[in-house]
A and B are shown apart, each in its own frame.
Chain A
Amino acid sequence: MSEGNKSEHKLTQLKALEAESIHIIREVVAEFRNPVMLYSVGKDSSVLLHLARKAFYPAPLPFPLLHVDTGFKFKEMYEFRDEFCKKVGVNLIVRRNEDAIAKGMNPKDFGVARCCGALKTQGLLDALEEGEYDAAFGGARRDEERSRAKERVFSMRDEFGQWDPKNQRPELWNIYNGRIHEGESVRVFPISNWTEMDIWLYIREENIPIVPLYFAKERLMVERKHLLIPYYEEMKDQLLEGEEPKMVMSRFRTLGCSPCTGAVRSDATNMDEIVIEAAAARRSERETRIIDHGSNSMEDKKKEGYF
């Protein structure tokens, strides 16, 4: 033992973040009856899943993954999801708001807010209720958006799945309070303290597989306002006046639903180039998400139950 001596160890910041996240994930499994991990197939979800696998190694994950599918994800995301989950042997549950999908819910005819509210928020709340989960892990980060900067790691939800930002439990040291009443639940954000840059650095360092859409390639795109939107054959009738699909060297910084997620022009075809590009980025990744634009939208959606 070398007690009383000066520190001789060094922990890199990524390893410090990793240790904190693993601590949080384990604490939830210890204190909750029926946790579930939200899995959106994106890069943050991929990091979260990787951390969870590390937390319980050599045992398998002690909880299922839940993908709330809107039916509007990119086909590359579905392919990646099914292949990856099979490969690592996790229990994947897929849920969709079938009522809304049957009614033809889409962002163009119903508006982005209504579409998100039905397919994502309601779809999520229904799936959480159906599964009787008392804790749901999510991959949200505090650096993404200003209302998220104020969210706790353990975020309490009432019986309606809603968030009350003015009445949050203080979080002290690394001691998390997991006590809830019947019907209440928590959303848990183990990667709260990670930035977009940390996510990319960690994916690179740990060789975490991600959806190929994150890497730059010549892709068929439509330019709409300031966004680059991927073009698929089925969209032929939805083109606005003057819009014409063309090949653009591009990639996605963040992945959501195909009608509402923009790409960025980029030549970054590998992880090194993506990290270098992320370091030079002057605009936040959420800028390519149509849903975030508008006053207060993230906070309002979060209060209603969105992640």
Chain B
Amino acid sequence: MTELNLKVAEEIELLRLVTVGSVDDGKSTLIGRLLVDTKGAFEDQLLAVRKKKGTTHIASAAEIDLAMLTDGLSAEREQGITIDVAYRYFATPKRKFIMADCPGHEQYTRNMVTGASTASAAIILIDARNGVMPQTKRHTHILGLLGIPHLIVAVNKMDLVDHDQAVFENIRAEMNEYCARQGVKDLICLPMSALDGDMVAVRGNHMDWYEGKTLLETLESLPVLDDVDTKPFRLPVQLVNRPQTPDLPDYRGFMGTIASGTVRVGDAVKAIPSGNTSTVKEIVTFDGNLEEAFAPQSITLTLNDEIDLSRGDMLVHIGGETSDSKELVANVCWIGDEPLSVRKKYIIKHTTNSVKAMVASIDFRRDIHTLSKDDADELAMNEIGQITFKLMKPIHCDSYADNRMTGSFIVIDTFTNNTVGAGMIV
């Protein structure tokens, strides 16, 4: 790194990713390849998981027991299974990446939902020899439900099918057709050999017939914010800042992370649910006041009028209001040990607002093998369905399709306090 690169390092953007696929698809090899090729893992960390004792330098991903790098918990290594989502970090001169690495087999719904909820892009691995498996479709369905803006299908192990273009094209056609039915907005398919490194960070010379970008080039060029800053303005209030110090006796600042949109000084805003209106006086930060702020910045706003606004409420632009209802219909991924059932009571936490809720009906359970909508009395761990909740007081929300931040919620068990469900408002 030089002084010029220092400037670049400060200005790069952040992309959150999720990788799905089973161990057999070569996910560990791919992750190891990305970490080694981008220097995302340190030598002592790699040496700790080397295959051969006595190796003192790691030159390629093949010398590492990659599962050992992934399985950070002793229980995982003892049982030879991956229990939980792990987070990996790597950077190129253009971008920093946070990658949620989701185990593909056990409890994949729970892990995938956790890992994918914040991701802007997903890498779905397919073994070129096996083609599109039922599991690939299930994963893709869940990723589509979670509204991941960009899906990258990496057809791996191309070296084992003689880098045959026809194999790749067949898989691409099938995935294109399937994703179109799922409403996936952006799908990229690319051939790859993670073991040799072809099409990961470098093109290699086995697949000249493919003209698209390598995986790393693709990840470097995807939009980061997408259009989250151009959507209607939403500021869920986290806290009201009232220092009550001698210099700031009457200061009232509304603190929060902008869920979507952009706000400027002077904008006409409305507090929800009170309905009171005012205009933005200042956008306060430690580094000085701003003229405008956008999602996902964390800011403090002051207003020109004293209005009723506190934690759990939301500030929006006049004319850009949310919908509010005491009945909530949502796709729910169930992640609790105890099944969800009709008339059970839970707490729903939506943005910074917690409300009591009761299950009014299970509209259907989605069979994630056939995608059919089935009748059901309960939703067990790792199952997905459409649920109607009755709420003790209305929440102010958008549909998940319109807004991932104000369209999502978690379900909390009132007895154990555990997080038992992930909801996406229809």
Contacts and interface: CB of A to CB of B under 8 A. Distances in A.
Q: Do A and B bind each other?
A: yes
Interface of A: 1-20, 22-23, 26-27, 29-30, 53-60, 142-143, 145-150, 165-166, 168-175, 177, 179-181, 192-193, 195, 197-198, 201, 204-205, 272, 275-276, 279-284, 287, 296, 299
Contact of B10 (A14, A59, A170): A14
B417 A299 contact: no
30 contacts: A2-B230, A3-B320, A5-B227, A12-B13, A13-B12, A13-B95, A18-B298, A19-B257, A26-B238, A26-B256, A57-B284, A58-B243, A142-B89, A146-B45, A146-B72, A165-B73, A166-B75, A170-B113, A173-B117, A173-B404, A177-B410, A179-B417, A181-B417, A195-B89, A195-B96, A201-B9, A201-B10, A275-B6, A280-B1, A284-B44
Contacts of A165: 73, 75, 84
Contact of A174 (B74, B118, B294, B311): B118
Contacts of B98: 193
A181 B256 CA distance: 26
Contacts of A22: 257, 298
Given A23-B257, A142-B89, A180-B417, A7 B117 contact: no
A23 B262 CA distance: 17
Nearest to B223: A7
A-B pairs with lowest CB-CB distance, top 9 = A146-B72, A59-B243, A13-B14, A22-B298, A284-B42, A54-B286, A279-B1, A57-B286, A179-B417
B145 to A, nearest CB: 13
A1 B264 CA distance: 9
Which of the listed residues A9, A23, A192, A283 has the most CB atoms from chain B within 10 Å of its own CB? A9
A23 B238 contact: yes
Contacts of B13: 10-13, 16
A26 B347 contact: no
Interface residues of B, number: 91
Contacts of A281: 42
Interface in B248-301: 248, 251, 253, 255-257, 261-262, 284-287, 294, 296-298, 300
B285 A57 contact: yes
A5 B230 contact: yes
Contact of B225 (A7, A284, A299): A7
Contact of A58 (B12, B284, B349): B284
B296 A19 contact: yes
Contacts of B226: 7
Nearest to B296: A19
Interface string B378-416: 000000000000000000000000001100111010000
A149 B73 CA distance: 9
A53 B14 contact: no
Contacts of A9: 225, 229, 262, 294
A146 B88 CA distance: 10
Given A57-B286, A275-B6, A276-B6, A173 B418 contact: no
Given A172-B419, A175-B408, A195-B91, 19 more contacts: A3-B320, A10-B225, A11-B296, A13-B95, A146-B45, A146-B71, A150-B72, A165-B84, A166-B83, A171-B114, A171-B419, A173-B405, A173-B410, A193-B87, A193-B89, A204-B6, A283-B42, A287-B44, A299-B72
Interface string B308-341: 0001000001001000000000000001000000
B285 A143 contact: no
Nearest to B47: A283
B410 A175 contact: yes
Contacts of A179: 347, 412, 417
A174 B238 CA distance: 12
Contacts of B285: 54, 57
Contacts of B284: 57-58
Contact of A143 (B2, B89, B286): B89
B11 interface: yes
B235 to A, nearest CB: 12
A174 B408 CA distance: 10
A27 B298 CA distance: 12
B69 interface: yes
Nearest to A18: B298
B110 interface: yes
B239 interface: yes
B298 A3 contact: no
Interface string B65-94: 000010111110000000111111101000
